[in-house]
Amino acid sequence: MERSFVTVDVFTDCRFGGNPLAVVLDAQGLGTEEMQSIAAEFNLAESTFVLPPKDARHTAAVRIFTPRAELPFAGHPNVGTAFVLARLKTIFGKPVGEQLLFEEKCGIVRVDVLLENGAATGARVAAPGRLTRASDVSAEVVAEACSLNTGDIATDRHPPCVASAGVPFLFAQLKTRAALACARPRAEIFSQSIKPDLAIGVLLYVSEKRDSADLHVRMFAPLLGIVEDPATGSANAALAGLLAGLRPERDLTLRLMIAQGVDMGRPSLLEATAEKREGEVSAMSIGGKCVPVMRGTLDP
């Protein structure tokens, strides 16, 4: 059977910016290997496959694939898939409302549609888990993996560390925007020292207010087939949680505008939020705008 697909650019209001996503609609009957092959053919950072939910109270089941692996959760695929379904207005014979519930490998994921004058313009996804912080990693390893000098990495706020809001990433703060622009991933060092069972990628960030953004970031995941990601929702949600946790206040709502993809010509803008209550990070979310790009069919 022919299957429809839609592509959208996520975390941008301009076509050919942001992070592209392919959404395969009505993926019933496709096996895991077929989905993985289709995702490899699209060769985007992620592709999603929409299936009927097991629980009728939920909107859909959604599976997420990079060109090389399936993910239990990711931010930009949820934002883009919700945007696509909101524009369709119905899926599997049911109307699509302003809040969607997706069944995913990580559990139930809530996504809220962003509206302007009644039309969907994007979405916001809640991280499915609480913030967890795992092992620290030496600045030397991060520098070598990203073609930097150890002195480029700032360690006064925190050492490079693994944290997760559903998917683990390795976070490292850099001292300058220039160092961020110079970073280049070295897959052989990732293979030796930053394997996917530790963290699926490295997110480098700089605290610098510029062009409406509070932070500028880059994310590399070469072992998943993503040399560089234009916008990484799950990582930036966790980054907001990590930074909120480091703040001295016991209660706060931290909102950050985060620029990503600038150095690869796919500028993206993400809004990350973290809630901290009684000294613990209790919730994180990531949101942004989307733009439709293409639609077509997969041949049977």
CA dihedral 140, 142, 144, 146 (to 10 degrees): -150
Topology adopted by domain 132-288: Diaminopimelate Epimerase; Chain A, domain 1 (3.10.310)
Q: Which residues are annotated as catalytic?
A: 46
Residue-wise pLDDT tens digits, 111-135: 999 999 999 999 999 998 889 999 9
Residues 108, 54: Cα–Cα separation, whole Å: 11
- When the pLDDT of each residue in the chain is averaged and rounded to a whole number, the result is 95
Q: Please, are residues 298 and 24 in contact by the beta-carbon 8 Å criterion? A: yes
pTM over the 0.85 mark: yes
- Quote the pLDDT of residue 299: 86
- Helix, strand, or coil here: 122? strand
3-125+289-298 with 132-288: one CATH topology?
A: yes
Tell me which CATH code domain 3-125+289-298 carries. 3.10.310.10
* Domain residue ranges of the chain, discontinuous segments joined by +: 3-125+289-298, 132-288
